[in-house]
Amino acid sequence: MQRILVLYFLLCSGSNVISQTEIPDFYRNIFSRDGSLHILVDTLVLTEQASESMNLTAPDGNPLGSDVGLIFDFGSGFQGQLAWQLCVQNQEVECVSRLSPIEQGIAEADILSIMDSLTLYPGVGEVHYRVKDEVGNVVSRSKTAIEGSGPFKVQHTIVEGPFINQLHPHGGTISFKTNKPVLVRISIGGLEVEDIREQEQHVLHINGLETDSVYSGAIILEDQAVPFTLQTTPRTGTQRPFIFALAPPTGNRDSLAMELYGVDDKLLSRVLNLAESKNVAFIQFNGDLITGNVTRPEDQALQLSNWKKTYSDLSDIPFYVTYGDREVITRNFIDTILNMGIGINYFPSRKGNSEAYFSSHFNLPENGAAGEVVDGNESTELRYNQSVYSHTYLNCAFIILNTEFLTNKNYNADFSTDGNFSGYIMEEQLDWLRSMLSFYEEESHIDHIFICQHSPVFPNDSVGGMWYGGSNVKPSFRGVSLDQGVLDRRDEYLQLLTNNSSKVRAILTSEEGNYHKLHITPETPIYPEDYAGDEVRIKGSLYQINNGGHGARDLEMNPWTTFVSNFKNSNAMVFFEMYGAQVFVTVIDVMTEEVLDQFILVEGRR
């Protein structure tokens, strides 16, 4: 009763309550007062605390040509330094570097002053630049092509990409970002594909090429041609050998000692070099691409942009991504004195949830679950926005799930509002998974299915995953608990993967900071000793393979822990070598290139 009276007083004490369209009505105890959002935890009121922002409203700086070089505008609140480098192509590539101050967001690169340092300036070049804050951290990076010898002109430049994704037997999809709007045309294999309008974000679909063929193409930016190579895949179902890789998380876990805001670019470089050496067909990233832990979409966008720029500068290997907990944008309600709080999934969620912002940065298949209805009104469906999807490669199918949908984060406080638990797969997504497994089970050309998700089903930690200490806790919305608890939902999920499908080989996860594998068989103990609920009977077997990088605690004791093997606190690459019916796995430490594990995932003839 005391808690109800406190909430009633707060809601009625002259507060300027944010409308229900802005605070989702499935959340309890969140209200507005004095222009800020608050949440009631028992009788304690916590105020929303936004994380520190980079104050970088224009990360690329919108460079403009001037009589002496380039002028950049990063936003009026930003102070720091611009480390820039002019590179020109003569007999070989020649570069000269300089530093310029950024004051109130404005910086100038004086190109005229360094032209005498070059052997020859041919009238065109490329300026690469890194934006540093006041203490020297690199918060953004970009590049721009220029022409002229004073005055100078900024040319159209691809600043992110090009990325070649969603390859299929007759083509694929090319996506990239340019420094300013432009109408782009692609020429490849006698085909011409063009944008429908001038824009900065470009996604072009290529179809009509020959199967299993290598093509040289060109991206036409007005009078420039950027070359690229596209290799179509063999016919679906082909049992030709190939390798795909599961990468570790590449977010910089220590954001205070970052080389590049949000990204461990040195680790990503080693990941891509190792993948190149193995000639992988594609790389799977299962979440935590970035440091994350942000409260603003623009900070998530900056980190993801840094990741994409780093990737495209180093490699053109196709990749697929999974939505992880560090990609979640939250509204944080913190009491710094008591060191406690709650992180609520970002809203207004019906206008643009965290998944929508994440998906907008990538070119992912649009064939997944649509969304969830959490308040009984189908007009308010909360969408997955391409964070749930499926794709195939030769004789393999990959199902990508979202284990972080509408999750809230608990910072040493009890949950006092509604939301999902990390690891809990909600109803519509589970129904979609059921339909996809049934579909691939009937597809004769698919031999293997891999489930890709961020959170493990069976965590090493005592909480999280689909475990929560063995407690069958239930997420709730509008104060009403869902029908199934965490263990109930886990068992239904396992029933689908092990009993209803004969082709699921492994669950690939990346949440916990370690590499390990867990063999799930009918003998694997998966319940607490005093469990009184119905138990699933596992008929088949599969592996859970976690590749979460380094930083884990020691191996903890859960019912299944004795079935865990090769627990390593390492940044690893997991290579799946596909030989038709057989699947062979090799795990390599990214830093030392030591082999950490090798095993046959699926027996069969090569």
Q: What is the pLDDT of residue 15?
A: 40
Per residue in 135-180, pLDDT (tens digit) is 999 999 999 999 999 899 999 999 999 999 999 999 999 999 999 9
Q: Are strands 572-579 and 582-589 parallel, antiparallel or unpaired?
A: antiparallel
Q: Cα dist. 319→6, 183, 339, 598 in Å?
A: 51, 26, 39, 23
Average pLDDT over residues 202-225: 93
Q: What values do phi and psi take at 544, rounded to 5?
A: -105, 120
Q: What is the pLDDT of residue 447?
A: 95
Q: How many CA atoms lie within 13 A of 62 on its CB side?
A: 10
Q: Are strands 504-509 and 542-547 parallel, antiparallel or unpaired?
A: parallel
Q: Cα dist. 263→5, 81, 259, 290 in Å?
A: 46, 19, 8, 5
Per residue in 531-546, pLDDT (tens digit) is 988 999 998 899 999 9
Average pLDDT over residues 459-464: 85
Average pLDDT over residues 52-68: 90
Question: Which of 209-223, 415-429, 504-518, 572-586 is least confident?
Answer: 415-429
pLDDT over 60 at 25, yes or no: yes
The CB density around residue 496, as the number of other CB atoms within 10 Å, is 18
Average pLDDT over residues 409-417: 69
Question: Is the previous residue joined to 475 through a cis bond, with omega within 30 degrees of 0?
Answer: no
pLDDT over 50 at 448, yes or no: yes
Q: Cα dist. 220→183, 186, 194 in Å?
A: 9, 6, 9
The residue that leads in pLDDT, 293 or 594, is 594
The 3-state DSSP class for residue 40 equals strand
DSSP states of 438-458: HHHHH-TT--EEEEE-SS-SS
Q: What is the DSSP letter of 17?
A: P
Q: What is the pLDDT of residue 415?
A: 63
* Count of residues making up the chain: 606
- The continuous run of DSSP H or E covering 56 comes out as none
Residue 424 contacts residue 443 (beta carbons within 8 Å): no
Residue 394 contacts residue 234 (beta carbons within 8 Å): yes
Average pLDDT over residues 36-45: 84
Residue 215 contacts residue 230 (beta carbons within 8 Å): yes
Q: In whole angstroms, what is the distance from residue 159 CA to residue 142 CA?
A: 6
Average pLDDT over residues 391-406: 96
Q: What is the pLDDT of residue 377?
A: 61
Q: In whole angstroms, what is the distance from residue 161 CA to residue 199 CA?
A: 15
Q: What is the pLDDT of residue 365?
A: 94
Per residue in 281-314, pLDDT (tens digit) is 999 999 999 999 899 999 999 999 999 999 999 9
Sheet of 330-335, strand order: 30-33, 36-41, 44-48, 330-335, 340-345, 409-411
**Angle 165-272-507 from CA coordinates, rounded to 5°:** 70
Q: What is the pLDDT of residue 19?
A: 43
Nearest to 361 by CA among 432, 307, 421, 304: 304
Residue reference for tokens 């370690």:
514
DSSP states of 166-214: EEETTEEEEEEEEEEEE-EEEEETTEEEE-SS-EEEEEEEEE-PPTT-E
pLDDT over 60 at 4, yes or no: no
Average pLDDT over residues 404-419: 78
Of all residues in the chain, what percent carry a pLDDT higher than 90?
Answer: 70
Token pair for 529: 């000793």
Sheet of 282-285, strand order: 319-321, 282-285, 242-247, 572-579, 582-589, 595-602
pLDDT over 70 at 13, yes or no: no
DSSP states of 480-546: EE-SS-HHHHHHHHHIIIIIS-S-EEEEEE--SSSEEEEEE-TT---S-TT--S------S-EEEEE
Per residue in 229-282, pLDDT (tens digit) is 999 999 988 889 999 999 999 997 654 455 799 999 999 999 999 999 999 999
- The continuous run of DSSP H or E covering 231 comes out as strand 224-231
- What is the separation, in whole angstroms, between the first and last Cα of the chain? 68
Average pLDDT over residues 103-126: 93
Q: What is the pLDDT of residue 378?
A: 57
Question: Which of 408-417, 437-446, 451-460, 569-578 is least confident?
Answer: 408-417
The residues with which 448 forms a beta bridge, in sequence order, are 396
pLDDT over 80 at 332, yes or no: yes
Binned at pLDDT 50, 70 and 90, residue 7 comes out as: very low
Q: What is the pLDDT of residue 5?
A: 39
Residue 85 contacts residue 95 (beta carbons within 8 Å): yes
